[in-house]
Structure 1
Amino acid sequence: MIKEEENIEKESKAKSKSPIIEIKDLHKTFGQDNHVLKGVNLTVNKGEDLVILGRSGSGKSVTIKCIVGLIEPDKGEIKVFDQNVLHLPKNELNEVRVKIGFLFQSGALYDSMSVRENLVFTLRKHKRELSSEEVETEVLEALDNVGLSDAIDKMPSELSGGMRKRIGLARTLILKPEIILYDEPTTGLDTITSREISELILDIKHKRKTTSIIITHDMACAKLTADRIMVLKEGVIQAEGTYEELEKSEDEWVRSFFE
């Protein structure tokens, strides 16, 4: 009996460490000679928060946009849930996309819609079978998850930058994604609000058991949220490790992020 329990525990640990995202030899060039990605390789394990660091233009955002098909790479392989998303038929790709939440830098809310309407629009687009009562329940739950239930009838123009990010995150969460891709989640926010967003990312991970890639310049955000960090330089992964490991890197360029 004890041996059976040990085997179950080992299997559970193995599954938790199995890659949910695998990227191999990813290349992307814009125009004639703007080679942004030059062979990116990375894996993200189930339940892990991976932070990607890099200077502006190093290809961080391009990498995650390739994952959801917003940008088509020139070469490489992207596996999500063990499926090569670059070769999936459109209907199967859409099924994968619904399981992936994407938080844009701006929050990307529809300015002409109230907070409620923004969330309802997203939900109705993907889950048409829900009743009006079920939709309302989902909207309230998503807003409660980001601590903004009282903003339900506000317009985006009435919200602060931090509130817009939270509502954008609520709109992402409403589809209950297994993976969340965060593109500069704390950019343009003050120190206190940035920490609140970083803590919210952690809270969502623990509550929802999500897997995430977080693109950031914010080292406080990276330190708080990262299980592992990868550093992109000139289109390839230059270094990989925990915050503490990279902070002590022998590579002066890598160490410069942590100073």
Structure 2
Amino acid sequence: MKITENFTIRNGHPAAVAPLIEFKNVYKSYGSNKVLNGISFTIDKGENLIILGRSGSGKSVAVKCLVGLTKVDKGEIIIKGKDITKLSEDELNRIRMKIGFLFQNGALYDSMTVRENLIFTLQHNKKNLTDQEMESAVIEALQNVGLEEAIDQLPAELSGGMRKRIGLARALIIKPEIIIYDEPTGGLDPITAREIIDLIRNIKIKYNTASIIITHDLICAKYTSDRIIVLKDGIIKAEGSYNDIENNTDNWVKSFFKK
């Protein structure tokens, strides 16, 4: 790591001296099942990090640890200079209000319209907003995903791709500093998946968010990633750009790219 004045050269690129997120030697087990085995990595502001790995590799557990839903056994997880493993629940909730989620299935409330889904999220994260301010925030979030016309529709009236985009609007409405994407293109046809990929790229440019993207989709990984880490049995097996991972000589890593 080379430091030059106000910047650090990290992962081959200039970066702010302190990363926005840092995992330091994190361990997590469930009984005899060792899920995370001392993983360490950083994420900078404005960086998209892909976490690649097969089922059971520790991807989802790492994210749960990041937001404090699962307590680590050992290690530190630092967000904006604070070790969240040592925070109270109230302090954790303040950190969580800076994090937006795009769940794999969209996770919308079926009985609420799109407007009501977004307002519900806003009310739980941004206090004391007027009705006009909330309506403006809803419209802006929907414009960001190209679905302003769906504002009064119920989730059941939307296609899978539209529900995914509304889920992304809900993540954006709180103006997060960090976004976690869980299989953002999962279950989508190639055209709709490409639309979601373009949205992820545009959101990074517009909001300068730090993002963690959990995916099995190599096309999504290729076009949204600044950096990729590959997990196997709770350890980082490989790390680097998409080209670095694609050209890795380890047989297990190479297996991701077999047709």
- TM-score w.r.t. the length of structure 2 is 0.92
- Distance, in Å, in 1 between the alignment partners of 2:37 and 2:257 is 25
| Secondary structure of residue in 1 paired with 2:20 | strand
For residues 130 and 15 of structure 1, what CA distance do their matches in structure 2 show? 35
Structure 1 residues not aligned, in runs of 5+ = 1-8
Question: Which contiguous aligned blocks of 4+ residues in structure 1 show a shift greater than 6 angstroms?
Answer: none
2:34 and 2:153 map into 1 onto residues whose CA distance is 43
Match of 1:19 in 2: 19
Paired amino acid for 1:239: A
CA contact (8 A) 1:120 1:139 kept: yes
Structure 1 distance, partners of 2:118, 2:58, is 30
- 1:89 counterpart residue number: 88
Query: d(CA) in 2 for partners of 1:251 and 1:258?
Result: 12
Matches within 5 A, 1:78-157: 78-157=77-156
Percentage identity across aligned positions? 59
Contact conserved, 2:6 with 2:17, CA < 8 A, in 1? Answer: no
Q: Which residue of 2 aligns with 1:4?
A: none
1:2-58 CA deviation, whole Å, 9 max, x = no partner? xxxxxxx9526765363111112222222x322221221111112111101001111
More helix by share: 1
Mind listing any 5+ residue stretches in structure 2 that lack a counterpart? 9-13
CA distance in 1, matches of 2:47, 2:195: 20
Count of matched residue pairs: 250
- On the 8 A contact 1:26/1:77 being kept in 2, the answer is yes
Helix, strand or coil at the partner of 2:175: coil
2:188 maps to 189
Amino acid at match of 2:18: S
> By how many angstroms is 1:156 displaced?
0.9
Partner of 2:76: 77
Q: Distance in 2 between matches of 1:183 and 1:123?
A: 21
CA offsets 1:119-154 (integer angstroms, 9 cap, x no match): 001111122211100100000000000111011111
In the alignment, the residues of structure 1 paired with residue 16 and residue 158 of structure 2 have an alpha-carbon distance, to the nearest angstrom, of: 38
Tell me, in whole angstroms, the C-alpha distance in 2 between the residues paired with 1:84 and 1:48.
20
Structure 1 residue 65: deviation in Å? 1.5
Aligned alpha-carbon RMSD (Å)? 1.6
